[in-house]
Amino acid sequence: MYKVDPKTGKQKFYSTAGFQSIASALISILIGLIVGMLIIIFVGLTREEISTKGMLEGVKLVFFGLFNTGRVDNQLTFGFNPVNFGNMLFRGIPLIMTGLSVAVAFKTGLFNIGAPGQYLMSTAATLYVAIVVPTETVPAWLVWVFAFGAGIIAGALWGAIPGLLKATLNINEVITCIMTNWIAANLVTWFFDVRDYLKNSDEAGKIGYIKTTASNGVETAKMGLDKLFPGSQVNGGIVIAIVIAILIYIMMTKTTFGYKLKACGSNRHAAKYAGINDKASIIASMAIAGGLAGAGASLYYLSGHTEFYWSTYMSLPAEGFNGIPVALLASNHPIGVIFAGIFMSLLNIDGLMIKSLTAYNEYIADIIIASIVYLSAFAMIVKQVIGRKGRKAGNTNVNDEPDPALLEAQRAAAKAAMQVEANDAEPAPAEEEGGNK
């Protein structure tokens, strides 16, 4: 299947799975950006109020909006913009976390489209704890920890529901996730609707928003990042998010627990036969996914100055859904999620720059993101096309494995199985055998 160099016996770099993942991600991004550029040009040519100069500026900002430093003498200037960089990192936090959430679920064979619901439940729990626990009696850092913990637990419990239904009754998690999303949206709105003391009534123009956690003195530590990116919203949350991503990577690839989760994802029945408690694994992976999405919401709102619009029963948070493109772009690799999350955030910054500097608006970024998701749906085929270049007798059928997530999980499981074999280690699942029967 893989092209091997005849001299060294090593696999050629362009046929490795990692290279193909990165290449297909880059191609998806490029096509997505081109789609955005074409729309900018199309609109620029058809609408009278947009000049050719405005159109070209729009195109420039699609690609380099992050580096924009404003407008001098009616010309866009480019360079290092600390505010944009810092805000990119800050807005990347929830995207990295929801991306991890979706990626962990994908790795274990589940499609977690329930991240928006988990995100909302965690938002409610986090804000409630961070605002209600008095900082006069409890140290602020401890309140922060409590609020963070409450958010993770709320997300994990909410994520466990689809997991439970999948494990025990074999109901498709996509459907249950969609239902729990909207239940969460209504529950959270109801929760805040009847609690007026949580609403921000002090400041004018903040009607409909919940108090910030900073009003109770609870804020994420800046960890010196505000010196590096002065004027931006960045804080230590990004460091926490990156650490969590690394921990998830270690959990999924280096521990027995992660191996069990992946084994269940690639073949539930085979895993059960090998002595893995398949039901517990499915519930656990959905709970972890929910906890990660919850952590994203916690970190976002614990920054202290982000505001939550509580009447959300008609809509779900975009951060939740944007975890899906992040995970797809990263081929569900936890370390890749860090970069993919920050890249998505970069697109959002580009969108804001386009909104403030041209006649276009910020939704162009969403169009690019959606195009990338659409392309990721058949990223497998892109990968196959790249792979085929180095292959003479292709015995692989593109259509055999329609589900890239499943294939990824299977490949990971196979790799893990080989490692276990090579190390002559005790078969991973054996220790828990019979324990949950």
Residues that bind another protein (CB under 8 A): 39, 43, 47, 111, 113, 165, 169-171, 174-176, 178-183, 185-187, 189-190, 193-194, 313-316, 321, 324-325, 328, 359-361, 363-364, 366-367, 369-371, 373-374, 376-378, 380-381, 397-400, 402-405
- Per the CB < 8 A criterion, the answer to whether 296 and 282 are in contact is no
Nearest in space to 254 (alpha carbons), one of 109, 428, 411, 105:
428
Nearest in space to 112 (alpha carbons), one of 74, 156, 72:
156
| Residue 267 identity (one-letter amino acid) | N
- Residue 58 or 86: the one with the smaller Cβ distance to another protein is 58
377: tokens are: 């749906």
- Per the CB < 8 A criterion, the answer to whether 57 and 357 are in contact is yes
DSSP state at residue 132: H
Please state the closest distance from residue 68 (CB atom) to another protein, in A: 20
Cα separation, 209 vs 200, in Å, equals: 6
Q: Where are the beta strands (DSSP E) in 216-370?
A: none
Please state the closest distance from residue 97 (CB atom) to another protein, in A: 18
- Residue 170 or 436: the one with the smaller Cβ distance to another protein is 170
Please state the closest distance from residue 243 (CB atom) to another protein, in A: 29
Please state the closest distance from residue 42 (CB atom) to another protein, in A: 11
Please state the closest distance from residue 324 (CB atom) to another protein, in A: 6
Cα separation, 397 vs 394, in Å, equals: 8
- Per the CB < 8 A criterion, the answer to whether 217 and 142 are in contact is no
Cα separation, 70 vs 269, in Å, equals: 58
- Residue 260 or 268: the one with the smaller Cβ distance to another protein is 268
- Residue 360's φ and ψ, nearest 5 degrees, are -80, -175
Cα separation, 255 vs 422, in Å, equals: 16
- Residue 158 or 259: the one with the smaller Cβ distance to another protein is 158
- Residue 401 or 432: the one with the smaller Cβ distance to another protein is 401
- Residue 255 or 361: the one with the smaller Cβ distance to another protein is 361
Cα separation, 386 vs 284, in Å, equals: 36
Please state the closest distance from residue 366 (CB atom) to another protein, in A: 3
- Residue 173 or 219: the one with the smaller Cβ distance to another protein is 173
- Residue 24 or 220: the one with the smaller Cβ distance to another protein is 24
- Per the CB < 8 A criterion, the answer to whether 155 and 295 are in contact is yes
Please state the closest distance from residue 102 (CB atom) to another protein, in A: 10
405: tokens are: 């997530």
Nearest in space to 102 (alpha carbons), one of 288, 365, 374:
288
Please state the closest distance from residue 186 (CB atom) to another protein, in A: 4
